[in-house]
Amino acid sequence: MRLAVVTFPGSNCDYDVYQAIKSVGGVPEFIWHRDAALDSVDAVVLPGGFSYGDYLRAGAIARMSPIMEQVVTFAAGGGPVLGICNGFQILCEAGLLPGALTRNDTLKFESKDVWVRVENADTTFSRDYGQGQALRMPIAHAEGNYYADEETLDSLESGGQVVFRYCDPSGHDGEGWNPNGSARSIAGIRNEAGNVLGMMPHPERAVEEVLGSVDGLGVFTSLLRQLSPAAA
Amino acid sequence: MTRHHLEIRIIPRPGLLDPEGKAIHHALDSLGYESVRNVRVGKAIYVDLEAPSSEEAIAEAEAMCRGLLANPVTEDFEIGMASPAAEPGETS
């Protein structure tokens, strides 16, 4: 299974994502943002970082890269697309996911481990988790405050599109566990069709014991299992 | 074709949390400006462009705002003609 990892100028999690994919048996492949083709890949990952220095708005300029036209077409055809951190911001800017990621309400760059609860374990990216399972993963962002109007939030909730939500270590909602002010503590959402996921936490930084958590593995194993059900 | 100097103001939607504006408000308070009731932070983008008329220059800038410069989910925009002398970075 070939998974494209798109590198933009300023991406800095591309190697971590590459390694995470490899560690679960996938075949990662770097794609430079100026490449205009996504040749026979099975999934696309937009990694985290600071594409174009976050100029204008985080993700706004990366969205204009030649490769993004291909990513939009790939997603429209049902191809799985995973955006992590800056990748999530790019997916919102590109209109592949609703809403926007705005400045953290803390006004700080938040770099720490957080807990997220699996709100929907029946998705391409979360099927290897249990419903309601609490996961520990790092965040590292200044613009992770998810915003959408109430109507959009309601439709995300009712459509099972909220995949990950910030929670306390026991998996419950709790005061002080939303690290950035996100609406309804949303940490990750998928699109209506279910093939595009954006999340602020970094699952690729939680894939080995030595990193302090292996809770991020499930995102990658879920995706691989979706792509090759026979091998799972 | 005439060269037009535009000032494009990008403003966060009213009601949207503006933590930066809030922090500045607090700072103004501590400076003694207790009359301040609200502070919001946006940004200004200065664009020079060639267009047959100022109306067409503004129409083009509106398209730029919708396509890239403003995020329709969180931001509004206003476009005005800027005086060339007021522009930063312009060399004479």
Q: In chain A, what are the domains? A: 2-231 (3.40.50.880)
Maximal C-alpha separation, chain A: 47
Q: Given this model, what pLDDT does residue A232 score?
A: 46
Q: What is the pLDDT of residues A109-132, one digit of tens each?
A: 999 999 999 999 999 999 999 999
Judge whether residue A231 has pLDDT over 60. Answer: no
Instruction: Please give the Cα distance from B70 to A170 (Å, whole number).
Output: 39
Name the residue among A162, A113, A171, A163 with its Cα closest to residue A137. Answer: A113
Note whether B1 and B51 are within 8 A (CB).
Answer: yes
H helices, E strands: number in chain A: 5, 11
Burial of A158 (0-12, 13-18, 19+ CB in 10 A): exposed
Place A230 in a pLDDT band, splitting at 50, 70 and 90. Answer: low
Nearest chain B residue to A63 by CA distance is B68
Residue B35 belongs to domain with CATH number: 3.30.1280.10
**Does residue B25 fall inside a structural domain?**
yes
Q: What per-residue string of b and e applies to A36-49 under the rule 16 or more CB within 10 Å gives b? A: eebeebbbbbbbbb
- Hey, are the CB atoms on B20 and A103 less than 8 Å from each other? yes
**Does residue B17 fall inside a structural domain?**
yes
ipTM field: 0.83
Please report residues of B whose CB lies closer than 8 A to that of A142. none
Instruction: Please give the Cα distance from A232 to A151 (Å, whole number).
Output: 38
Place B85 in a pLDDT band, splitting at 50, 70 and 90. Answer: low
Instruction: Please give the Cα distance from B39 to B22 (Å, whole number).
Output: 6
Write out residues 127-156 of A within 8 Å (CB-CB) of B. Answer: 145, 147-149
Instruction: Please give the Cα distance from A147 to A184 (Å, whole number).
Output: 9
Nearest chain B CA: its distance from A116 CA (Å): 23
What are residue A98's phi and psi, to 5 degrees?
A: -80, 160
Chain centroid to CA A91: how far? 9
Give the three-class secondary structure for A144: coil
Q: Token pair for residue B66?
A: 């919708």
Q: What is the C-alpha radius of gyration for chain A, rounded to an integer number of angstroms?
A: 16
Q: Token pair for residue B58?
A: 């503004």
Q: Given this model, what pLDDT does residue A131 score?
A: 98
**Does residue B92 fall inside a structural domain?**
no
Chain B: which residues have CB within 8 Å of chain A?
Answer: 16-17, 19-20, 23, 68-69, 71, 73-74
Work out the number of other CB atoms within 10 angstroms of the CB of residue B28: 14
- Hey, are the CB atoms on A148 and B73 less than 8 Å from each other? yes
Q: What is the mean pLDDT of chain A?
A: 95
What percentage of chain B reaches a pLDDT higher than 90? Answer: 75
Q: Given this model, what pLDDT does residue B84 score?
A: 67
Average pLDDT score over residue span A52-68: 93
Q: Given this model, what pLDDT does residue A25 score?
A: 95
User: Which has more confidence, A16 or B82?
Assistant: A16
Q: How many domains does chain B have?
A: 1
Nearest neighbour of A57 by CB, restricted to B20, B23, B71:
B71
Nearest chain B CA: its distance from A100 CA (Å): 7
Note whether A49 and A43 are within 8 A (CB).
Answer: no
Name the residue among A138, A134, A86, A88 with its Cα closest to residue A110. Answer: A138
Q: Given this model, what pLDDT does residue A113 score?
A: 97
Judge whether residue A81 has pLDDT over 50. Answer: yes
Name the residue among A217, A48, A203 with its Cα closest to residue A114. Answer: A203
Is A204 an annotated catalytic residue? yes
Interhelix angle A217-227/A14-23, rounded to 10 degrees, is: 60
**Does residue B89 fall inside a structural domain?**
no
Nearest neighbour of A105 by CB, restricted to B17, B71, B74:
B17
Query: Which one of A13, A33, A85, A119 is the catalytic residue?
Result: A85
**Does residue B47 fall inside a structural domain?**
yes
Judge whether residue B14 has pLDDT over 90. Answer: no
Name the residue among A50, A91, A51 with its Cα closest to residue A68. Answer: A91
Q: What is the pLDDT of residues B51-68, one digit of tens each?
A: 999 999 999 999 999 999
Judge whether residue A169 has pLDDT over 80. Answer: yes
What percentage of chain A reaches a pLDDT higher than 70? Answer: 99
Nearest neighbour of A60 by CB, restricted to B17, B23, B68:
B68
Q: What is the DSSP letter of A183?
A: G
Note whether A15 and A45 are within 8 A (CB).
Answer: no
Size of interface A-B (CB pairs under 8 A): 34
Q: Where are the beta strands (DSSP E) in B1-92?
A: 2-12, 43-51, 75-81
- What domain range is B46 assigned to? 2-84
**Does residue B65 fall inside a structural domain?**
yes
β-pair partners for A117: A134, A165
Q: Given this model, what pLDDT does residue B92 score?
A: 44
